Structure 1
Amino acid sequence: MAKNTGPRRKSSGPSRRPAKKPLWRRALRASVIWGFALALLGAIFLGTAIFFTERELPDYSALKSSQNGQMIVVRARDGSELVSLGPSYGRWLSYDQIPDIMKEAMVSVEDRRFRDHFGIDPIGLLRAVKVRWDKGSFRQGASTITQQLARNIFLNNSKTFGRKAREAVLALALERKFSKDQILELYLNKVYFGGGAYGIDAASRKFFGHPATELSTAEAAIIAGLVKAPSNYSPTADVQASIDRGQVVLGLMAKNGVISPSEAQDIDLSDVKIAKEKGQNSVRYFTDWALPQLDMLLPETNEPIEVWTTLDPAMQKAATKAIDSNVPKGAQGALVSLDRDGAVLAMVGGTDYVTSNYNRATNALRQPGSAWKLFVYMAALEAGYTPSDRVVDEPVTIDGWSPQNSGRNYAGEIDVRTAFAYSKNTVAAQLGNEVGFGTVASMARRFGITSPINTRPAMVLGTSEVRVIDMTRAFAEVSSGGTSVEPYGITKVTTSDGELLYQHKSVQGQVLVPHYVAAGITDLLQTAVATGTGRAAQIGRPVAGKTGTTSSNKDGWFLGFSSGVTTGVWMGRDDAKPVSGLFGGHAPARAFADYMKVAVAKRPVEQFDTKLQLPEWQLEPDDEYLQGNPDDYYYIDENGNLVQPGSGVRSDDQPRYEDGSFGPGPGPGTPQVPDYGPQPAPPAASDDFLDRATGQDGPDQDPGLRQGRGLGSPQSILPSPRPTATRTPSGNF
């Protein structure tokens, strides 16, 4: 059979193609390729970052010398150290000097795989993620000791992804550049343990009173437990919290084989003796007030500085003792003492700084009671009254308000001096009503009262709350002859090398009231101590001062001055509850006396300038002189400053006194009000100023707010429809 040798015919069916791979296989393949590529890029980027970070890291000696925060040494006026604030580093301990138990305790509680990881602990990170998944929040940290070191030295504590990434890179670089021993040495010498203590030696000295080389197992456990939350577990702040945390550390040490379980149970952390914290006394009230002022006095700096202050150690000790010895049980006390230029000599803000660091001398607002009459009587003196003028102590009602005297008795006709000495409320009410309650508020503003002032009639008895330091300042300004005084506590600031950064400059005080007003109120204040309610404040030399007691004995005050030192004392409860037997003339006055006997012991005795140098308008009271020229009036400008008549003081003028005699001014300096022609009465403030000063929108809102009426004003000679203090002219007036 013949073979068919012709061409073969092609099959007419479809051709076969390679089958496509499943989508999931293709996606997986792409993911692997891209994942590998991205991981390779990430590894390159990370390796590059670690390489350059490692190159930029300081050497070991530079890291040892770096410090966190600013150290401030506060010195008294005699140069002695009052307190050291800010970071304390103790002595640097090498790895071999650090007790093994301290190293093991820290590793056990903060990073038990410290010797095994490369700066980041993947196992710890996975464990933290698992806890996050199980509990719904991060309950465990994953930072290694190396990461913590990187954060402490180079970064802050912000919880952001960027900061954590930089922290990780720095940790990896640190592990490449330094050994594990070096990293642990750096960490133990630089980590923060609270209370300003950086490093285990500073912590050991602060909390236990001895170097870290002498740490016991129990002490090491307490210190190691502080790192997690220094403020919460500090043994000086919460002993029980530190003990509970120390027990946790002991348990972890036993779990890691550092100590045996029986040893962990046998250690009694309550037996550990905690060192008494130094510097936590009344001095801290002063430093808490003074040091924040550095932000305004100095440019921003982190270098160690020394702050030289006005505080006198002996006076501060006497002030603390005076408050502690006299304050009623269950009450608090505060004291501020100023030198004649405003320098704070002593400050006590409470009976125990450790128990309560609230500074009642500078922050607390309390009613001053009758101590407020300082401003009432100065307004009256400025309006034309003299200490010897006659007034009537009798029942009075003003706008429905009827003040009562202590003991509810009335003396009838007495002089102004006696009314002030015995703190007659009815007379103060009449005087305040006559000069205007707004005028009294203006006077208080002039003398540095910064808190809100109400202008209802009862304000004359001290219903507006004030600060102790502000009231003390006002009395210091009276002591200075009626010129302004600015309290200050810092005299200079230097670097630790002695470079001067700031120097306090004394400025001349502004005249607040004419000299005769300051002399007159000093006369009244001296009488209050000599024969009146402030007799307990006598110290064997001239003292001028005023008591203050509020309703139900909630507050007791005494403020006064002698030999250039002005001191204010307040006592009362923080919750403003009544204090049995608390009167300004009792415990506060005795505390004033106890302190002032020490404060002025080395100062010469000074007699007060109380001889009145009256202006012509007060000596020649005819209608022309009383009304005067309105352009010459004293007045208060929009900033609350006293503006005097335009023409200056003439050196050839001889002042005239209340008794009609002539002569030079009784006090230092040129008399404030010379005798040349008719002089207008000192002021009343403008309505706009009073509205701003007292927080009132206008006099219509308060029936007790009236424009003050000095004797040089036409209104002052018109009959008043309201009760006024009745007086009989004395001398030429």
Structure 2
Amino acid sequence: MNRAHLNKLFTVLLAGVLAGMALAAAALPAALVFGIGFKNLMPYTALPESLKAPEPAQRSNLYASDGRTLITSFYVEDRVDVPVDEVAPVMRQAIVAAEDVRFYQHHGVDVRGVVRAFTANRRDGTRQGASTLTMQYVRNALAGDPRLTEAQRARATEISAGRKIREMRYALALERRLSKDEILGRYLNIAYFGAGAYGIAAASKRYFSTTPAKLTLAQAALLAGLVRSPDTDDPINGDADAALARRAYVLDRMAETGQLDAATAATAKAEQLRLTPSATPNDCTAVPAAHNDWGFFCDWFTQWWNAQPAFGSSVDERQRTLRRGGWKIVSSLDPDVQAEAIDQVLRIYPKSNERAAPTAVVQPGTGRVLALAVNRNYSVAANPAGQQNYPNTVNQLVAGGNGIVGYQAGSTFKLFAMLAALESGLPLATDFDAPSVYVTQYPVDGGPANCGGNWCPANANPTWMDGRRTMWSAFGRSVNTYFAWLTERVGADRVVEMAQRLGIVLRAPDDARLARDGAKNWGAFTLGVAATTPLDLANAYATVAAEGTWCRPTPIASITDSSGRTVAAGGPDCRQVIDTDVARAAADAARCPVGGQSMYRGCDGGTAEELAPGLRRPVAGKTGSSEQNATETVVAFTPQLAVATIAANPDDTRDAVGGGVQVRQIEAVGRLLGYALRDEPVRDFVPPSQSVALRQTAPRTGD
């Protein structure tokens, strides 16, 4: 009999198995079937990529910086692969007993099973498919391949003789490439066990809150019994009695095949169903309830991921990569620092206050974000009319995005004017007799700072701010008119460019337009009229702390793929953006506002003088207030850490934030820095050179 004739007979036999029809293959002598080895009957078939290099969807896990604390997971299918040697032997035995008792004897297709199924189908009209574990794995792998179209996936699961033949051919070919244990491991990792659990690791956790290695005999038998009818027999959401009946069947089969003695099987069958279910979180709204505040960091992580070309060419593709790729993502979030940050934020405003105090903590020199905190519930729950972001929100109040452009940060932007001046050649000792009101060259259309069509800022406290000032004293006392004059000397466009160089993203359309088309006349930018976020502001000041090295803010400590390989995405992305000596000079002047002392000249007053004495380590920073105190800002940094907090009403930018709030912010920032640095050595800032501090030179022009 030639090979073509054998294949024809084989196809007829399969049609009977599948449809239970009385076909001509019924007359095929059993001796002939058993005499033909399927290994010889079928030609070798080249395997598709989904079988040679399977890519089943696996959940990605996002951890805190300790690499152990789970923030949340992202998945389409709750699955994570485990090596077969990390699966309890009783689980391996149970699945073989339940699904393919001759697994270790056949070559991928069980001839006896095919004939038995055909006979039963013909005699009783039942449907027995005779699929081996290898064939089941082939079907699952083809159907779950993310590279397939929906049409291809439907073809892989259709009920037809053609599909069954393909499965057999592939199963025979697969068994030539892999060992039995390798195939069994793949099957256990891809099978669906019901209740949303794909693979043995997810199933062990879902039903028993354990790992595959720790499964007991009764637990293993229950799980093995579920793969036949995972939706209906699921004991959590479906028929627990059916699940127990299947468990008994599996235990009986294990006893019949000699894997258990009858007494052990009977004891396991008598065990009560003891489920300890645990659901795997999925997405940012599923962060642990006790750590709801992690949701804002998680949200910012997803924004970061969606912007990474390493994970796909579009946002949709990057999301598919995240939810199917099995990544282990160790984030930069420090749970202890985050807990302290949320505690300090709630001292500024409780969650019951419609004003917010978004706060960010950044590590200079790496850009790693240790905490993002705000006095809000991370939730999609509805809010009262007119209060879009209070008390519940999933909008990104700390890092921007999701429609949040940020808040005015007031005099904290004077840092950018000072840096531009230092870079142009003006030293810290540059002095000016600052008046109460200064009429600038910059045109304005109106408003309270309008003097005959020109912008004319005034000092908030003339008796304390007016007079002969240097960068040290002007920054310490936050002298508006000094920085307006300084901006004229170096050019407003240079101030705007400096802010953007240090990572200030102008998200508000009007701000972006002015930066693009009118920066030369945007003198008021120096006083912080543009919107920013606490994260951008903290990172800009962290650049000064890192002596001019700017790092892109990142939520990542490390990322490894499903095979354990570390990927480069998320590593520190840093570059020198300002001269080291210029940064050191700015840090020296920034010691004055917070009660520190310059390394060249004593500071003669600051807007947050209580911060340094309480912290008892070198610190620098700045405060800021917007028009009519609609916002209040505090930013502070040491060589190791930078913190920024902005008090504002996200739903009403005209709403004043309330008296005394900046005092609470200063206290909160000091306590937060002290806690976060509690185990860190005390480090001082490196003094700037005498040249950049004291020497008078002519600034470069902007034209």
TM-score band w.r.t. shorter chain: 0.5 to 0.7
Matched, 1:547 2:535: no
SS at structure 2 position matched to 1:585: helix
Matched, 1:427 2:457: no
- Within 5 Å, give how 1:364-403 maps onto structure 2: 364=401, 365-366=405-406, 367-381=408-422, 382=424, 384=426, 386-387=428-429, 389-398=431-440, 399=443, 400=450, 401-403=455-457
Matched, 1:415 2:441: no
The equivalent residue for 1:362 is 399
The equivalent residue for 1:198 is 198
Taking a change above 3 Å as real, the CA distance of residues 150 and 487 of structure 1, as seen in their structure-2 partners, is closer
Matched, 1:319 2:341: yes
- Structure 2 gap segments, 5+ residues each: 1-10, 19-37, 96-124, 130-135, 172-183, 223-229, 243-275, 381-392, 444-449, 507-511, 596-604
Q: Which whole-Å deviations, capped at 9, do the CAs of 1:323-345 have from their partners, x for residues lacking one?
A: 34434523444333333322415
Q: Which is further off, 366-375 or 206-215?
A: 206-215
Residue identity opposite 1:534 in structure 2: A
The equivalent residue for 1:469 is 535
Q: 1:607 aligns with which of 684, 688, 702?
A: 684
d(CA) in 2 for partners of 1:483 and 1:315? 23
> Alpha-carbon deviation of 1:529?
0.8
Q: Which whole-Å deviations, capped at 9, do the CAs of 1:664-699 have from their partners, x for residues lacking one?
A: xxxxxxxxxxxxxxx9755455xxxxxxxxxxxxxx
The equivalent residue for 1:481 is 547
Residue identity opposite 1:427 in structure 2: Y
The equivalent residue for 1:68 is 56
d(CA) in 2 for partners of 1:518 and 1:512? 7
Identity of aligned residues (%): 22
> Alpha-carbon deviation of 1:370?
1.7
Taking a change above 3 Å as real, the CA distance of residues 317 and 411 of structure 1, as seen in their structure-2 partners, is closer
Q: Which whole-Å deviations, capped at 9, do the CAs of 1:99-154 have from their partners, x for residues lacking one?
A: xxxxxxxxxxxxxxxx97789xxxxxxxxxxxxxxxxxxxxxxxxx9999788535
Matched, 1:593 2:670: yes
The equivalent residue for 1:88 is 79
Q: Which whole-Å deviations, capped at 9, do the CAs of 1:368-413 have from their partners, x for residues lacking one?
A: 2221111122233445253572432312344333434446877431
The equivalent residue for 2:266 is none
SS at structure 1 position matched to 2:645: strand
Q: Which whole-Å deviations, capped at 9, do the CAs of 1:443-478 have from their partners, x for residues lacking one?
A: 223323343336323222212223433322221221
Task: With the length of structure 2 as denominator, give the TM-score of the two structures.
Answer: 0.55
Judge conservation of contact 1:534–1:585 (CA < 8 Å) in 2. Answer: no
The equivalent residue for 2:606 is 532
> Alpha-carbon deviation of 1:193?
5.9
Judge conservation of contact 2:543–2:549 (CA < 8 Å) in 1. Answer: yes
Bigger Rg over Cα: 1
The equivalent residue for 1:449 is 504
Judge conservation of contact 1:88–1:198 (CA < 8 Å) in 2. Answer: yes
- Within 5 Å, give how 1:651-690 maps onto structure 2: 658=694, 681=698, 683-685=700-702
SS at structure 1 position matched to 2:635: strand
How large is the RMSD of aligned CA atoms in angstroms?
5.9
- Structure 1 gap segments, 5+ residues each: 1-42, 98-114, 120-144, 216-222, 228-242, 254-271, 616-656, 661-678, 686-706, 708-733
> Alpha-carbon deviation of 1:348?
1.0
Q: Which whole-Å deviations, capped at 9, do the CAs of 1:249-275 have from their partners, x for residues lacking one?
A: 89xx9xxxxxxxxxxxxxxxxxx9997
Judge conservation of contact 1:533–1:547 (CA < 8 Å) in 2. Answer: yes
SS at structure 2 position matched to 1:586: helix
d(CA) in 1 for partners of 2:72 and 2:611? 36
Residue identity opposite 2:543 in structure 1: E
SS at structure 2 position matched to 1:430: helix
> Alpha-carbon deviation of 1:429?
2.6
> Alpha-carbon deviation of 1:509?
4.2
> Alpha-carbon deviation of 1:545?
0.5
d(CA) in 1 for partners of 2:503 and 2:304? 18
Q: Which whole-Å deviations, capped at 9, do the CAs of 1:559-589 have from their partners, x for residues lacking one?
A: 2211422222234343244253277733433
Residue identity opposite 1:479 in structure 2: A
- Within 5 Å, give how 1:711-726 maps onto structure 2: none
Judge conservation of contact 1:545–1:559 (CA < 8 Å) in 2. Answer: yes
The equivalent residue for 2:354 is 330
Task: With the length of structure 1 as denominator, give the TM-score of the two structures.
Answer: 0.53
The equivalent residue for 1:340 is 364
- Within 5 Å, give how 1:166-181 maps onto structure 2: 166-168=156-158, 169=160
> Alpha-carbon deviation of 1:596?
0.5
Judge conservation of contact 1:71–1:85 (CA < 8 Å) in 2. Answer: yes
